[in-house]
Amino acid sequence: MTKQEFFAGVFIMLVGVAAVVYSLFKLNMGNLATPGPGMLPFLSGLGIVVLTLLWLGANLKNITKGEPLWGNSEWVNPVILVILTIVYTALLEYAGYIISTMLFVFGWQIVIEHRKIASSLLIAGVCTAGLYLVFVTLLRVPLPAGILRF
Amino acid sequence: MEIFEGLLGGFALALTAHNLLFVFLGSLIGTAVGVLPGLGPAATISLLIPIAYTIGSPATSIMFLAGVFYGAMYGGSTTSILLRLPGEAASVVTCIDGYEMAKKGRAGSALAISAVGSFVAGTIGVLGLTFLAPLLSDLALRFGPPEFFTLMLMGLLLAIFLTGENPLKGAIMLFVGVLLANVGIDPITGVARFTFGIIHLRDGFDFVVLAMGLFGLSEIFLTLEKQFSTEFITKKIGKMLPTKKEWIDSSWAIVRGSLIGFFIGIIPGGGAVIASLTSYAVEKKFSKNPEEFGKGAIAGVAGPESANNGAASSSFIPLLTLGIPGNAAIAIIFAALMVQGVTPGPLLIVDHPDVFWGVIASMYIGGVMLLILNLPLVGLWIQLLKVPFYILGPAILMITAVGCYSLRNSVYDLYLLLIFGVMGYVLRKLNFETGPLLMAFILAPLMENALRQSLLISSGNIAIFFTRPISGILILVFVVVILSRVLKSFKNFKKGSKVGGEL
């Protein structure tokens, strides 16, 4: 077990503890004959606690430093994607599907792929048009029109 | 007789132009997914569910999604043989001898044998499904809530103990899945659980959003970490027609692989990966020239490729007859049926014969389509690998986002998608399997219902799960399997503790 796995185990165990506490104090557990809404959350929380304790306990003596989860700036692109997706989601209903999708694909090309502006614009345009054709024209999925009104 | 009548009805449905089109599209997308490394069948099926809602009846949707699933098994062999790059996990073992054959200019033979083996195994699997499924459905009609609860619990735990490298981590994920499924209004009492006053949480989490995040988005994060370029290691495919000797060497391997795949696919957690690995080991043992394995033995391609396709077909048996999904991809198909108002299980054949027989018939048709798609068009599939990730990546993400948004026309689901995507990404980085989490999430509401009903029937006596014959036997089988696995784990742990082994 690596150090990172150990901390993940502790975190998951705390989630289990929180579920047990919430079920005991906020939900009605009922009894075995008529189980209440708290019974299954309690059991699943308990299951998490017991199993993580077993797992952590069995490997406590074998904790190694392990490889770092992210090597040489491997985390950068995933983080950029998270930010791009948040911006896309925030814009979707106001700016509409076409503008937000174009901005998202354009942003991906510029920030993640480091492509030139002209080719990024072209890829963003073609991608957006293709997806619009499939989803809106062919499959008739209702997507937010936003300021463009279509 | 009923079986043939049902099957004829299924063919009548599957052979309509609309359904043929979607079986073809499913097989086509499945093959593409199998060819492209990274995006697996579970991720793709979850991405396609919102589209599947819009294409027609539940039968059509499931024919389409099933096509993606078994199509991926076919496609996976192409890149394994030509590029030593497994398109999906079940084709890893094909890389060993398939690529060695390709290096010797026998890629065409390897591809042809692999496609024929896949077709034979797929057909044997569907034949088994045709004749075994109605019998199992009849048997399962005798099941009550205690049997169903035991069956679902045992199925989930078996899936973890048989497939995962670390069963304890898999079991932890299973309980996390159950916990996530508890979020929202309790369907029996109407009490809100874990909603913390947030209105959106009252409906709980949608399995599509969870599946798309855990499998689809997390895969994109992982790919972005290490953007790979596909080098064309093998350019020459060679003659597509195997020699007489190659046919002889591979024919029994295909038969054995088909049977191994069929039986392993029925077991929850068995799946295509275990089937292909088992088949490779068996072929090496049966071979007169085991030293050829690893150097381009055709049986090392024929057996595993047949086995993974056999397993893909037979994994529909527990789904359609018992309502038990044996792996993550089948669990997503299970959930897709539920969303369309169709409950997989013993009553499926009675209540929705169109879905039951239609899907089975479509699998016969899909098998033929895949044979045609994979043999003459192999060059086209290789070209697909030339599509760069800077186009594929944003397109996949936008398809995911649109699919997710269209579920409830709400950006709230897009934020959830992102949260589950990051969660899946981190869990996978920490070597936690996300499959059990999703399977448990999907089955938890049914399990809770069966558990509550069982306890109501028995007035709270949990002996009901042990004293009824079917559930008692199921528990016994489970205990035997688990004990053998635990003993083996402890032996390995004792051995490995000196060198840092892990339990």
Which residues in chain B have Cβ-Cβ distances shorter than 8 Å to A142?
Answer: 406, 409
DSSP letter for each residue of B372-431: HHHTTTHHHHHHHTTS-HHHHHHHHHHHHHHHHHHHHT-HHHHHHHHHHHHHHHHHHHTT
Local confidence band at B236 (pLDDT 50, 70, 90 cut-offs): low
Which residues in chain A have Cβ-Cβ distances shorter than 8 Å to B169?
Answer: 55
Question: What tokens were used for B172?
Answer: 């932890």
Local confidence band at B115 (pLDDT 50, 70, 90 cut-offs): confident
Stronger pLDDT, B322 or B254, i.e. the higher one: B254
Q: Report the amino acid identity of residue B390.
A: Y
Which residues in chain B have Cβ-Cβ distances shorter than 8 Å to A48?
Answer: 172, 175-176, 179
**Cα–Cα distance between B158 and B318 in angstroms, integer?**
13
Tokens 């819009």 locate to B54
CB within 8 Å: B394 and A34:
no
Q: Over 90: is that where the pLDDT of B481 sits?
A: no
CB within 8 Å: B193 and A127:
no
B228/A contact by beta carbon, under 8 A: no
Which residues in chain B have Cβ-Cβ distances shorter than 8 Å to A78?
Answer: 221, 224-225, 425
CB within 8 Å: A62 and B415:
no
Q: What is the ipTM of this complex?
A: 0.93
Tokens 């996949």 locate to B396
Beta bridge partners of B184: B193
Stronger pLDDT, B174 or B49, i.e. the higher one: B174
CB within 8 Å: A108 and B411:
no
B168/A contact by beta carbon, under 8 A: yes
pLDDT at B238: 65
CA-based nearest residue in chain A for residue B411: A89
List C-alpha distances in Å: B240 to A88, B109, B119. Answer: 47, 5, 16
pLDDT at B498: 46
Where are the strands (E) in B146-287, listed by range?
184-185, 192-193
Mean pLDDT of chain B: 82
CB within 8 Å: A44 and B178:
yes
A111/B contact by beta carbon, under 8 A: no
CB within 8 Å: A127 and B395:
yes
CB within 8 Å: A88 and B422:
no
Of B189, B399, B503, the CB nearest to A36: B189
Of A33, A51, A70, the CB nearest to B172: A51
DSSP letter for each residue of A97-129: HHHHHHHHHHHIIIIIS---HHHHHHHHHHHHH
Highest mean pLDDT out of B182-186, B208-212, B452-456: B182-186
**Cα–Cα distance between B162 and B384 in angstroms, integer?**
34
Mean pLDDT of chain A: 88
pLDDT at A117: 92
Which residues in chain A have Cβ-Cβ distances shorter than 8 Å to B176?
Answer: 12, 15, 44, 48
- Kindly report the three-state secondary structure assignment for every residue of B129-176: HHHHHHHHHHHHCCCCHHHHHHHHHHHHHHHHHHHCCCHHHHHHHHHH
**Cα–Cα distance between B350 and B348 in angstroms, integer?**
5
pLDDT at A85: 94
List C-alpha distances in Å: B486 to A59, B5, B92, B480, B483. Answer: 15, 46, 27, 10, 5
Residues 6+ apart with CB under 8 A from B11: B361, B364
**Cα–Cα distance between B470 and B151 in angstroms, integer?**
9
Tokens 């990546």 locate to B393
Q: Over 70: is that where the pLDDT of B409 sits?
A: yes
A83/B contact by beta carbon, under 8 A: no
Residue B320 CA neighbour count, 13 Å, CB half: 31
Which residues in chain B have Cβ-Cβ distances shorter than 8 Å to A20?
Answer: none
CB within 8 Å: B394 and A108:
yes
CB within 8 Å: A69 and B431:
no
pLDDT at B308: 87
CB within 8 Å: B455 and A32:
yes
Residue B281 CA neighbour count, 13 Å, CB half: 8
- Per DSSP, chain B holds a count of helices (H) and strands (E) of 23, 2
CB within 8 Å: B415 and A8:
no
The pTM of the whole model exceeds 0.90: no
Angle, alpha carbons B256-B258-B260 (nearest 5°): 65
CA-based nearest residue in chain A for residue B458: A33
pLDDT at B218: 87
DSSP-H helix ranges across chain A: 3-26, 39-59, 76-95, 97-107, 117-132
CB within 8 Å: B444 and A141:
no
Q: How far is B255 from chain A (nearest CA, A)?
A: 41
Per-residue pLDDT tens over the stretch A28-73: 888 888 888 898 899 999 999 999 999 898 888 888 887 788 877 8
Q: Over 70: is that where the pLDDT of B229 sits?
A: no
Q: Over 60: is that where the pLDDT of B220 sits?
A: yes
Question: What tokens were used for B43?
Answer: 């991720």
3-state class (DSSP) for residue B326: coil
Q: Which residues 4-23 of chain A have a CB within 8 Å of chain B? A: 4-5, 8-9, 12, 15-16, 19, 22
Local confidence band at B417 (pLDDT 50, 70, 90 cut-offs): very high
Q: Over 50: is that where the pLDDT of B500 sits?
A: no
Tokens 């696919």 locate to B265
**Cα–Cα distance between B39 and B33 in angstroms, integer?**
6
Which residues in chain B have Cβ-Cβ distances shorter than 8 Å to A135?
Answer: 402, 406
Q: How far is B46 from chain A (nearest CA, A)?
A: 17
A92/B contact by beta carbon, under 8 A: yes
List C-alpha distances in Å: B358 to B20, B28, B74, B339. Answer: 11, 19, 21, 18
List C-alpha distances in Å: B216 to B2, B219, B399. Answer: 41, 5, 10
Of A52, A61, A141, the CB nearest to B172: A52
Residues 6+ apart with CB under 8 A from B299: B249, B250, B252, B253, B283, B286, B287, B293
Please tell me the least confidently modeled range out of A87-96, A128-137, B173-182, B414-423: A128-137
Local confidence band at B499 (pLDDT 50, 70, 90 cut-offs): very low
Local confidence band at B494 (pLDDT 50, 70, 90 cut-offs): low
Q: Over 50: is that where the pLDDT of B230 sits?
A: no
Please tell me the least confidently modeled range out of A86-100, A133-147, B444-458: A133-147
Q: What is the mean pLDDT of residues B111-139?
A: 85
**Cα–Cα distance between B75 and B41 in angstroms, integer?**
11
Nearest to B113 by CA among B214, B245, B281, B215: B245
Residue A136 is given by DSSP the state I
**Cα–Cα distance between B28 and B82 in angstroms, integer?**
19
Beta bridge partners of B193: B184
Q: Over 70: is that where the pLDDT of B502 sits?
A: no
pLDDT at B405: 85
pLDDT at B78: 80
pLDDT at B440: 87
Q: Report the amino acid identity of residue A135.
A: F
Size of interface A-B (CB pairs under 8 A): 170
pLDDT at B269: 62
pLDDT at B231: 47
CB within 8 Å: B182 and A41:
yes
Per-residue pLDDT tens over the stretch B67-99: 998 888 777 788 778 777 666 667 778 888 888
Which residues in chain A have Cβ-Cβ distances shorter than 8 Å to B228?
Answer: none
CA-based nearest residue in chain B for residue A100: B398
CA-based nearest residue in chain B for residue A36: B189
pLDDT above 90: percentage of residues in chain A: 49
Which residues in chain B have Cβ-Cβ distances shorter than 8 Å to A105?
Answer: 394, 398
pLDDT above 90: percentage of residues in chain B: 12
pLDDT at B232: 45
Question: What tokens were used for B267?
Answer: 């077991």
CB within 8 Å: B175 and A78:
no
Q: Over 90: is that where the pLDDT of B102 sits?
A: no
Q: What is the mean pLDDT of residues B124-142?
A: 82
3-state class (DSSP) for residue B208: helix
A79/B contact by beta carbon, under 8 A: no
**Cα–Cα distance between B307 and B40 in angstroms, integer?**
18
**Cα–Cα distance between B414 and B207 in angstroms, integer?**
13
Beta bridge partners of A2: A64
Highest mean pLDDT out of B20-24, B296-300, B313-317: B20-24
pLDDT at B497: 53
Nearest to B324 by CA among B449, B472, B439: B439
Please tell me the least confidently modeled range out of A111-125, B250-264, B489-503: B489-503
Stronger pLDDT, B439 or A89, i.e. the higher one: A89
B418/A contact by beta carbon, under 8 A: yes
B457/A contact by beta carbon, under 8 A: no
**Cα–Cα distance between B446 and B148 in angstroms, integer?**
9
3-state class (DSSP) for residue A2: strand
- Per-residue burial over A62-72, b if 16 or more Cβ lie within 10 Å, else e, is beeeeeeeeee
